[in-house]
Structure 1
Amino acid sequence: MATIDRGATPSEGLTSVDMYVPAPEPSTPHIDYEIIAKMPVWDSNGIMIPLDHLYRNQKVIIVFIRNFLCYTAKEYVEDLAKIPPNYLWDANVRLVVIGCSEWKYIKAFKNETGFPYELYVDQEKNIFSALKLKNHSSVQGSIHSPHVKSSIFGGLIKSTWRAMLHGDYHGDIKQLGGQLIVGPGPQEHFFHIDNNMMDHTPINRLLAVAGVDQVSYEKHARVIQL
């Protein structure tokens, strides 16, 4: 089971609605860091690096997402992009997103989301499989990501439209993601496996566990916007 760092300090200007208090996750499959350490990820130039290079010397928030054309993944990453760089710098924490697409689509996704931090892909989904991240496309569940602004209907229209523009789905349309906070080294602080497309860990909870100041997110109305 993941151990939780409760050392985060609430940020100024955040209401009780905005704040997330770290709480233990239910038991999750044991992560064998010896196995995943040398599994490769690719950057936007097609350069391959071992996974442990991301967390070897520093604590890192790693967010595993669905295919790049999924509206839930896109809107979650758009809110990750709003984390001020100095928040991460002051806490000495890295933020990394890993998708299950091909590396050639990374730059387009970063441009679409405005994501300024590190983004890699696990092209063969070996890491996704090793972490036992689930593979089904259900949107059912009692938890709805606070970072997904679109309705299911509107989101599916967006994803379909973007797929038509790009010509494919840029990844496995059934693959779900998860969130991991680890480092320095194989020191695990938090691990969550998404149970459905909407089951993202709230970003402020990730920040609280990692000891990073939290962000005040505006409450957006759900809209259909292609």
Structure 2
Amino acid sequence: FDEHALPTAEQLRKAASLPVLSHDGKCHRFGDLWEGSRTIVIFIRHFRCPACQDYVRSIVTDADVDILDKAGIKIVLIGMGSPSLIRPYAKLLRSRIPLYTDPTLAIHRALGMTLRTTDAGPEHARGDYIAHGVVGGIARMLSSALPGKMSFRHKSGDVTQLGGEFVLGPGLRSTFAHRMTNTRSHCSILRVVSAAG
């Protein structure tokens, strides 16, 4: 496991060929999301992770999708749970960032996101996007399962699998990589945007 190693061309080729699922359960080739232009690809943890919900909220607030688009930079989110949770998740977080899922975790493995843990890491090292404590996070996770939100009957993803952030494309190239080391260690979205150029 290497937190910052850029994926090799072979790793990118393998990952690009793998499928992601959209909200309707349809398969899409992962590479089609980023091979055509510079793309920030964010791998979140399970759909119920309160820390990742805070992270996506920070992206929605701090990364203007329209400005990025004008600069030729796309942004996509990749979850790992049931595709049926994509729309409720986006609605809950008021996000219009394209969101797909990799429920098999094959892309995670191909890009070196192999660390699995439920460790939240030291308090002083938590991401600056975290907007709640442990108790508040649990309360938020439970409230998101209320009727009309994200039902617990759908799988939200592996709670031990960590995510990461990459700048990929155009073509089989990567210029930035960060893999999470604990459940609250997403890289600041402003740092990722800066790396995207």
Aligned to 1:89: 69
In the alignment, residue 53 of structure 2 is paired with which amino acid?
K
Relative to structure 1, the CA distance from residue 29 to residue 172 in structure 2 (aligned partners, 3 Å threshold; closer, same or farther) is same
Q: Give the whole-Å Cα distance in 1 for the aligned partners of 2:70 and 2:6.
A: 31
Aligned to 1:6: none
Return the TM-score normalized by structure 1. Answer: 0.77
Q: Give the whole-Å Cα distance in 1 for the aligned partners of 2:98 and 2:48.
A: 18
Map 1:32-47 onto structure 2 (within 5 A): 32-47=11-26
Q: Give the whole-Å Cα distance in 2 for the aligned partners of 1:115 and 1:161.
A: 18
Q: CA RMSD in A?
A: 1.9
Correspondence 1:206 to 2:192: yes
Q: Give the whole-Å Cα distance in 2 for the aligned partners of 1:171 and 1:163.
A: 15
Gaps of 5+ in 1: 1-24, 212-226
Q: Secondary structure at the match of 2:140?
A: helix
Q: Secondary structure at the match of 2:13?
A: helix
Q: Secondary structure at the match of 2:104?
A: coil
Map 1:138-149 onto structure 2 (within 5 A): 138-141=119-122, 142-149=124-131
Q: Secondary structure at the match of 1:81?
A: helix
| Per-residue CA distance 1:154-190 (angstroms, 9 max, x = gap) | 1123224435762255111111110010110111110
Q: Which residue of the other structure, out of 122, 136, 152, is the alignment partner of 1:167?
A: 152
Query: Equivalent pairs: percent with the same residue?
Result: 24
Correspondence 1:65 to 2:44: yes
Following superposition, the deviation at residue 118 of structure 1 comes to: 0.7
Aligned to 2:98: 118
| Per-residue CA distance 1:5-40 (angstroms, 9 max, x = gap) | xxxxxxxxxxxxxxxxxxxx9652744112111100
Relative to structure 1, the CA distance from residue 95 to residue 30 in structure 2 (aligned partners, 3 Å threshold; closer, same or farther) is closer
Following superposition, the deviation at residue 45 of structure 1 comes to: 1.6
Gaps of 5+ in 2: none
More helix by share: 2
Return the TM-score normalized by structure 2. Answer: 0.87
Q: Give the whole-Å Cα distance in 2 for the aligned partners of 1:120 and 1:26.
A: 23
Aligned to 1:79: 58
What count of residue pairs does the alignment treat as equivalent? 187
